[in-house]
Structure 1
Amino acid sequence: MEFEGLTLPLREMLDIGIVALIYYYLILLVRGTRAVAVIYGLVLVLFVFHLSDVFGLYTLNWLLTNFLGSIFLVVIILFQADIRKALAQVGAGPLWRKPDLREEALEQLVQAVMTMSRIKMGAIIVLERTVPLGDIVERGVEIDAKLNKELLLTIFHYDTPLHDGAVIVRKGRLAAAACILPLSSKFKGQTVFGTRHRAALGISEESDAATVVVSEERGAVSVAIGGRLTTSLDEVRLRRVLKNVLER
């Protein structure tokens, strides 16, 4: 391929294309996370480092050289959750497999959630998508049963031993109950959102799961996806949100 006398071999074109694609997906992965601010900071530090080299600011250059030598390790330690989530999304993208939640199972889930909302029964239901949640399932009580309204209502009834934890839904079936989820640092110390909401956000920050939460105090229905919480959902909006997410 030639541009006004400049020859660009196919190998170089492929090399540039792959690098551009990697940068594009890196931007998509870190968008909306704390890592964005860190990247801006690193770019600024690298710019100052370049200026110190150009203008012969040897002391500043020495300081930044030693700083940059350890900053990448510090970033990995501080943002291990974001890095783990990004790597999980790369390894379990839509090219590998798609979530499977049939229309009947989705309707059973929606009806169960709205019933729990009316009677103010607290619940947290995690819908596994492309990122496997096997480690969380193994730490809970494995069920492997057909998803239906009655079973969900039984599990989350206040006097059953399985009600205090999350239910994991995998491929239209109840995989496990009484599962412990990682807690998000968001809403810590606030009274509006409790432990269930922080757990829903926590699992959504570390995977691509969609998590439905029913508030025990207010009966409000929320959905956590990608570290964001959508609240006060009625039946129509809940069904639409879940369909949109599971069809991606």
Structure 2
Amino acid sequence: MQDFLNLTVNTIKNISVWSVLDILVVAFIFYKGYMLIKETRAEQLLKGIILIVALIPISYVLRLNMLYVILSKTITIGVLTIVIIFQPEIRRALEHLGRTAFDDIHPIQDKEELGKVINEIVNAVESLSKSKTGALIAIEQSTGLGEVIQTGTKIDGIVSSAILENIFVVNTPLHDGATIIRENRITASGCVLPLTGNGEINKKLGTRHRAGIGISEVSDAIIVIVSEETGTISLAINGRLTRNYDKEKLRTVLTKVIESKQNRRVKTAGERVKTWIKKLAKGNK
């Protein structure tokens, strides 16, 4: 016991600030990694991997040679298998990291102009909801939706409730698909969105809602959905769907979410400018 205490004390004495920082960084990475896979298929896989890793030393100590060999080989081959099977989750995680690191590359919109755009969207959605006309509108944020835009018909028109309502009129060429809004422009309509692979969502939700959730899982776009059957207004953000919005609630949430992203980009950009100024000042000394 004394030897153990001495070893513990010596270890604590030898810990430097950099060692503590190293531990904190690694812990943060593991925490963020877990949050990315939480409530996904990858979470169950992680539990299985932990179980296998725990069984390997146990089987070695108990001299269960066959079990030890099987588990060891499973870990070796498993890495490649994980990359292949969980490619969508890995891609989503990397895209999330990319959004976090570079979410200030898009221009900042004027608040008055942003308010007008939101107002036009809300008025159109309210009208579509009353007439039970299905609609799917994706409002681009930091993550570019260029690949999605290529699947539809380019419009490049101002955001207006009249245009949005006409786009989604049943049996018109562009109604069956998503309309993409970039800044203050309707960029394209009739776009094809990726469907969600989440098997836990309500089975009653149709393709329109699944597509809205799907694109929100791989981007930070805000998706407005109007149900063709009930006229219910829904929002999909970061892979989560919330329903039963009215006009005022929709306007409030859109304004709050978009402005919070804008403010974060302004803050990040401001901090970078300050850093550049400091570097220039040091260089001129």
The CA distance in 1 between the partners of 2:124 and 2:222, in whole Å, is: 16
Deviation at 1:98, TM superposition (A): 7.5
Q: Deviations over 1:112-157 (max 9, x none)?
A: 1011000111110012222221111122112222212111112112
Match of 2:274 in 1: none
Return closer, same or farther for 1:88/1:67 CA change in 2, 3 Å cut-off. Answer: same
**1:168-207 residue pairs with structure 2 within 5 A?**
168-186=180-198, 192-207=204-219
Q: Deviations over 1:49-73 (max 9, x none)?
A: 2211232221111000111112222
Paired residue type of 1:19: V
TM-score w.r.t. structure 2 length? 0.78
Larger Rg: 2
Select which of 75, 99, 102 maps to 1:92: 99
The CA distance in 1 between the partners of 2:253 and 2:105, in whole Å, is: 17
Q: Does 1:72 align with 2:79?
A: yes
Select which of 17, 23, 28 maps to 2:35: 28
Q: Does 1:216 align with 2:228?
A: yes
**1:1-248 residue pairs with structure 2 within 5 A?**
6-93=13-100, 96-97=103-104, 102-186=114-198, 192-246=204-258, 247-248=260-261
Deviation at 1:191, TM superposition (A): 7.2
Structure 2: give runs of 5+ residues left out of the alignment: 1-8, 262-285
Return closer, same or farther for 1:146/1:134 CA change in 2, 3 Å cut-off. Answer: same
Is the 2:215–2:221 contact (alpha carbons within 8 Å) kept by the matching residues of 1? yes
Q: Secondary structure at the match of 1:192?
A: coil
Q: How many residues in Structure 1 have an aligned counterpart in Structure 2?
A: 246
Q: Secondary structure at the match of 1:27?
A: helix
Return closer, same or farther for 1:144/1:32 CA change in 2, 3 Å cut-off. Answer: farther
The CA distance in 2 between the partners of 1:89 and 1:20, in whole Å, is: 18
Return closer, same or farther for 1:35/1:172 CA change in 2, 3 Å cut-off. Answer: farther
Q: Secondary structure at the match of 1:96?
A: coil
Identity of aligned residues (%): 37
TM-score w.r.t. structure 1 length? 0.88
> For the aligned residues, what is the CA RMSD?
2.5
Match of 2:279 in 1: none
Is the 1:94–1:130 contact (alpha carbons within 8 Å) kept by the matching residues of 2? no
The CA distance in 2 between the partners of 1:98 and 1:233, in whole Å, is: 31
The CA distance in 2 between the partners of 1:39 and 1:130, in whole Å, is: 30
